[in-house]
Amino acid sequence: MKKYSLLLFIFSTIFISLKAQTPQLWGTTQVGGPFGVGTMIRINGDGSGFERIYSFSEGSPWCTLVPAGGSLLYGMTVSGGTHSVGSIFSYNSSN
């Protein structure tokens, strides 16, 4: 019986590790992109898959992206917005 339990444990561990997603790191830059005022970027935890997700056209991003449950990320810009004093934005990372 111990032999079957051990085999079941090994199989389930391998199966779980194969199904696990590669972690992703999300962030912002304060300069760069086609408008020169910053971008939102994503890269896989293993260093592969670097991608520019969004280019800001006004107002450089000013803080770390904050996860807000599910797939929403929130951040702020230092300028731009309705009164040109910055804005709060959200991004659905499952897109």
- List, for the chain, all residue ranges whose pLDDT scores fall below the cut of 70: 1-20
Instruction: Give me Rg for the CA atoms of the chain.
Output: 20
Joined tokens for residue 38: 């910053």
Joined tokens for residue 72: 């929403």
- pLDDT at res. 6: 43
- pLDDT at res. 34: 95
Tell me the β-bridge partners of 26: 42
Domain boundaries, the chain: 22-92
Q: Where are any strands of DSSP class E within 1-95? A: 24-29, 39-44, 51-55, 66-67, 72-77, 87-92
- pLDDT at res. 61: 92
